[in-house]
Each structure stands twice: as structure tokens, then as C-alpha cells.
Structure 1
């Protein structure tokens, strides 16, 4: 597999440059500042579109992480622009946390405190500190972490509540998006709080933070990973009672490697070994979502035996890393072959060679999914650039 891996690394290095070149060329907002909120598949820029906190945090993370890999000063310049915009416009200087949504000119239009978005901002600021050594970034990341502990952490049952008003009061609608269940705790938010804390710990090895990371991993072991199936449970009430049976193949394979990364950063050997076993089980059951062409389907609802056969860009990106990670743990070359085959699917179907970046996805009929953004509140450079960065590092 040696030659395959070197070719894999070469192609990923080229694709990382392509992805970030697209974001440099099409998303910098010279009219309103920061970055544009929306670009369609034909690269038509909507300068009036609102600007999401998740999009901006993911831009900051992607360019910071790319700089940390390759030390390209152009990447650091884009990251600095993102850092300045987030600091000036998204961080709530009165109540802490970050706003969910701004209008095109930077005015808050949705001031709710979605823990998912705050976690991504911590993640991005921490990665930016690694790139820039700007103490202001580190200080802001720590302050946001303290906000989450003070307001979102469940002192009774553990874990983190989902969302709040601007001044951290309770909300009736906690949903991250319209497709989500309105529940107090979710797998998705806990996964990205864990991701944020893992990167924060790299720049701030605080003992209490270390314990928070260990506790979050234990939350996954005890509550979030189904012990029978190895799949993630997506939604919970405040008492960790499961409120969903839907299987999300992309999240399963993403969590399989992020959990191991978290256990590794705190250097807990017992935890690492237990998570290796869980990661392999999760990668194994994720094979159930594979199509013959190497792609990973989107979602399955066992209660209705309903399989959504769409192939979203982010799911494929996480599959590349997650199955590669499983190969590294197990030495089972079947996992490596899946990662390589998935990359072939991406090259053949997901990358938009004519107009740059990746399509949102492919329908069950094998066509490009219509009417989806190339840049938007959810369509960011993070999953695909991170897959490239992560695999380049692992192969090296």
C-alpha cells in the first residue's frame, strides 16, 4: 500500500490547495467586511446574505490549521481576517458567548446562544492561537470555555444543554436546525464541545479542562454510543433518556476518530485503549452505510426501515479519515481500501472541477443535489479541508 499512500497524500495536498484557493477567491467580502454569507453552485455571490457564526468559525479553523500544516503566509492572512471579524462582530461583549447569526453588515439578527456554535468558535480560536501565538485568541477561547461551564454544563447529570437566550435564559426551541429534534441534549453538540476542548487543551493544559475532556469521553461511552449496536444515539432529554433511533453514518465515522483524538490529548492510556475498541466497533458498523462505489449514505431510520441514500460532501470527508483511523488501529487493510475507494468516489462525483470547491452532495439517483449552497451557514471549508489536513499528517 506504500505507493497508494504516497499518491493519496500527493492528491490530498493538491486538493487542499484547491479548496482554500476557492475560499480565498470567492468568499472574502470587500463590500461589508469579513466573509460573504452565501455563494451558489454557479459561484453567484449573495452579498446581502446573513453571516453565520458556524461558517465564520470554520473558516478561521480551516485557514489556521492549513497554516499550521504548511506555513503558507496567505493562509495566516485569511485566518487573521476571520479572527478580527469574529472578535469584533460575533462575540457578545455584554453577556459572553457568540451570536448565532448576523446580517450582511454585521448586526446581530439572531442572538441565541447555541452551544454548538460557541464550541466551534473555541475550536477555531485555539487553532488560530497555534498559528499566530496571539494571546488575545487564547484569552477569548478560555473565556468562551468558561461561559459554557458556567451556563451550559449540567451540574446534576453531566453533559451540556443545547441552547439559551442571549442572556443565558431557557429557550423553547433548542434546535440547531429544522431537521433536528427539539431536545435538551444532543450527540452533535457534545461531539463538537469535545472537539473544541481537545484543541483548547493543546494550548491551555489546564487540569480542570482535562477532567472535562475525560468526562465528555465517558459521556459518549455511557450514554451516547449505543453499547449494543455501536451507533451514536442522536438526541436525549436532560436525564440522558434516548429520544431517537436514527443512525447518522457520517457522525458515526466522524466520532470514531474524534473520540480517540480526545483520549490521546489527555494521555490517559486506559481511556485510549477503551476508545480504540469503541472506535473500531463504530467503524465496523459504519460499513453498513457503504454503497458499492465506496461512498457513505446519509442516514437510516430503523423504526421505519427508511434509508436516505443521498451522499453528502461532509459524510464522505469524514469517511476518508474515520476508516483510515480504523486501519491505523487495527492494521486491517479493508479499512484502508474503503478510505481510498471513498476518495475515488469524491474525485469522480463530489469535487466541482469546473467552478471549484465540492458539491453539497449526490442524490439517490446519482445526480448533483439541486438548489444547495456551495458556501452558506452550513456549507463551509472545514470537513473537506480537515480531511485533507488530517490524512496528510497521518500518512507523513
Structure 2
């Protein structure tokens, strides 16, 4: 174990990278993509999820660093998200625009709306302007109006721009084209939790409790303790894939949400399930402390993606806090050493996309982009700093 200084320095380094290398001063916005050599792609498309995550990261980072630059960058991300990506006709945020700010994908992906709520509510904490909160509330009511399934519970995945049913519901081409997914439910829960912190109304609390229970009832496999990733509209399982990173990320986010609504029985049950989920993910670690990506059709994808390592560190630390069992703290230390040695680019900044099974850097991967954002790693540093200042239970 170490003090918080290494994590605080890394937090500052991540935010510095995004405020300088990733920020396009000429166009007063983030580049859509920066490659592994820190070369920006001025023609790359821009994604709403990236902007929402940057908004969250700079807003959360400012609360830790009190650096005026973070406040400034959060304001810029907020302005761009609520202008270039905001659909003033039908409501919600667009998925993707091109470098000239023309629509590339105008679908309403609920995952993107959830992240926009997450970023907006974090920004509201440092800029308590009611317009900011109103933006978040607007997205909340859109999700509840169009995405919530009142018959079978849960949330549908995506819609066309005008909220009519969409044919292609996928976040990416690797996903299954299914009505309901673990990933979107996880991040709706995360977004609603942050909304509740700044708008503590009963309706939001009930939605959070319902989402936690949906994980207990449908999404966490009671036999394996892994997450099921894809479902049809009536919660029939549509995937056997194992995602180690999502398993361990969900383990601590579920605890956070249950604690927030304060239901003691829900908290106790969720903590028990969370430990089982972490234990189910432990076979995914290699001997060096890196957590493998996933198992697809029985085949282990032995890549160590940056976000998986970030969530592993937090999940292990949370497991230690819940149990006081030293094995989790030992594994956390090993995970952080792996990140520091293999994932952080100490020379050029930010984190590599990932490491291949031969301990070489995955080639041709972004340092920043639609999916490579200052979210998992910034949050990892903030969570570690916070948790190391708290005793185990």
C-alpha cells in the first residue's frame, strides 16, 4: 500500500493530457481522435459519449484538484455537449457528428443520454446553475417516457431521432442487436445515482432501487455470478459471453447505488452479490495482476484493456472495504502495479488502450476517441483516493 500521492499525480496527469493534447484550441473543442503517438486527427467524427465523459471527468477532477483549468474545461465541454449534440427538435443528444458538426448518426442511444446525465449532474456540483440541472432532468424524463418498459421492466436500448422504433440498436458492431443490455442498464443506474445526489426526489430513488433489483433478478447470473450481457424484451438471455471488466465494475457500482438510496436490506443483499461477482472475476487475472478482457464462445481474449484495469482496481478495493480480507488488498496492490508498469504511458501521457497477451502494447489504438475517454481512469484515481481515506468495514 502507498499513500494517495501517486494516484493524485496520475489524476492531474490525465486531466493535463486532455486539456492540452486532446483539446483543439483553434476550434475550441476536443479532437474526435488522438492516436497512440499523440497525433490528433482533425477530421475525426465527434461522439456525445466522449463529450459527456470529458464533462464528468473535468467536473469531478475540479472537486479534487481545485485547479481553475478543470473548471474552465468542464465549462467548455458543457457548452459543446448542449449545443452541437443537443436535439432541439425532438430532445436528447445525437450519437455522432462529423468534424464539420453535421449529423453522422442521429439515433437516440439511451446509453448516450445516460452519460450526458452523468456529466451534467457532476458539472452542476461545481456550477449550480439551474439550467444545467434542467438539462439533466430533461434527459431523465425522456428516458422514462420513451425507453422504460412498463410491461416487463427495464429500458429499451435505442430509438430513431424522432423516438420511433429503431432497427439497429447496437452501441458498436461487436454488440448483439438486442432490445435490452446489461451495459445500458448499468450506466442508467450510474447516471440516476448521480442525478439523485443533486436532485434527491423519491421518484429517482425508486428508479435506482428498481435498477439494482433488476441486476439481482435478471442480469447477474445466479449460478455463475457473471453478468449476462444481452437480452430480448422479456429478459430472455441472448449471450453467454463473460466480460470480466463489466463484472467487477458492476460489483462496486451496485453497492454505490444501493447505499445511496439507504435501503438496509438492499444494501446487505447487494454487498453479498458484489463479493460473489468479484470472486467470479478473479480467474480472469493473470499472474502479473492484469485482468483479461473477456471470454467469447469459450475463447479467452487475453488482452488487458485500459478500462478493465481501472475497474479492477476499484472493484478490488471495494471488496477489501466490504470484507477486510487481505487477499483483496493484495490483489489491488498488484493491479495498481500492473497499471503503473504496463498501462500508463509515462513518457507521452494518458493510458495505452491495452496490452496483448505477450506483454506488448496493442498497436494502432487511440489515446483519445469516441470510446477512449478520461472516464474510467480519472474515476479510478478519484475512487482510490477517496477509499484509501476510509477504513474498511
Instruction: State which of 378, 383, 386 in structure 2 corresponds to 1:393.
Output: 386
1:30 aligns with 2:25: yes
What's the TM-score once normalised by structure 2's chain length? 0.98
Q: Distance in 2 between matches of 1:161 and 1:32?
A: 36
Confirm or deny that 1:325 pairs with 2:322.
no
- The SS at the match of 2:84 is helix
Question: Partners of 1:363 and 1:329 in 2: how far apart?
Answer: 32
Structure 2: distance between partners of 1:340 and 1:145: 38
Q: 1:61 is matched with which residue?
A: 56
CA contact (8 A) 1:100 1:111 kept: yes
**C-alpha distance in 2, partners of 1:78/1:170?**
36
- 1:367 aligned to which of 360, 370, 384: 360
For 1:313, which of 302, 306, 316 is the aligned residue?
306
1:188-203 alignment runs, 5 A limit: 188-203=183-198
Give the stretch that moved more between structures: 266-275 or 190-199. Answer: 266-275
Q: For 1:33 and 1:49, locate their aligned partners in 2 and report how far apart those are by CA, in whole Å.
A: 15
TM-score normalised by L of structure 1:
0.97
| C-alpha distance in 1 between matches for 2:64 and 2:277 | 28
Q: Which runs of 5+ in 1 are unaligned?
A: none
Report the equivalent of 1:376.
369
Shift of 1:32: 2.8
Q: Secondary structure at the match of 1:297?
A: coil
- What's the counterpart of residue 118 of structure 2? 123
CA drift of 1:186 comes to: 0.3
Q: For 2:2 and 2:92, how far apart are their aligned partners in 1?
A: 42
Aligned residues: 389
Q: 2:348 aligns with which of 355, 358, 367?
A: 355
1:283–1:323: 8 Å Cα contact kept in structure 2? yes
1:32–1:104 contact (8 Å) kept in structure 2: no
SS at match of 1:307: strand
Structure 1 residue 16 corresponds to structure 2 residue 8:
no
Moved more, 251-260 or 65-74: 65-74
Task: Output the CA distance in 2 between the equivalents of 1:105 and 1:205.
Answer: 39
Measure, in 2, the Cα distance between the counterparts of 1:326 and 1:332.
8
1:264-303 Cα distance to aligned partner (Å, 9 max, x none)? 11111111111000000001111010100011000013xx
Please name the residue that 1:337 is paired with. 330
SS at structure 2 position matched to 1:300: strand
After superposition, the C-alpha distances for 1:329-348 in whole angstroms (9 at most, x for unaligned) are 00011011111101100111
- SS of structure 2 residue aligned to 1:88: coil
Secondary structure of 2:169's counterpart equals: coil
In 2: Cα distance, 1:305 partner to 1:235 partner: 17
Alignment of 1:1-396 (within 5 A): 4-6=1-3, 9-301=4-296, 304-396=297-389
In structure 1, C-alpha distance between the alignment counterparts of 2:33 and 2:282, rounded to whole Å:
34
For residues 211-257 of structure 1, give each alpha carbon's deviation from its aligned partner in whole angstroms, at most 9, with x where no partner exists.
Answer: 11010001000000001111000000000000001100000000000
Q: In angstroms, what is the RMSD of aligned CA positions?
A: 0.9
Secondary structure of the residue that 1:109 maps to in structure 2? strand
What CA distance in whole angstroms lies between the structure 1 residues aligned with 2:19 and 2:182? Answer: 32
CA distance in structure 1 between the aligned counterparts of 2:57 and 2:323, rounded to whole angstroms: 29
Aligned equivalents of 1:124, 1:105: Cα separation in 2: 24
Quote the offset at 1:107 in angstroms: 2.3
Instruction: For 2:331 and 2:129, locate their aligned partners in 1 and report how far apart those are by CA, in whole Å.
Output: 40
Deviation of the 1:5 alpha carbon: 3.9
**Greater displacement, 66-75 / 187-196:** 66-75
Q: Residues of 2 paired with 1:10 and 1:268: CA distance?
A: 35
Q: Is the 8 A contact 1:32 1:105 kept in 2?
A: no
The structural deviation recorded for 1:131 is 1.4
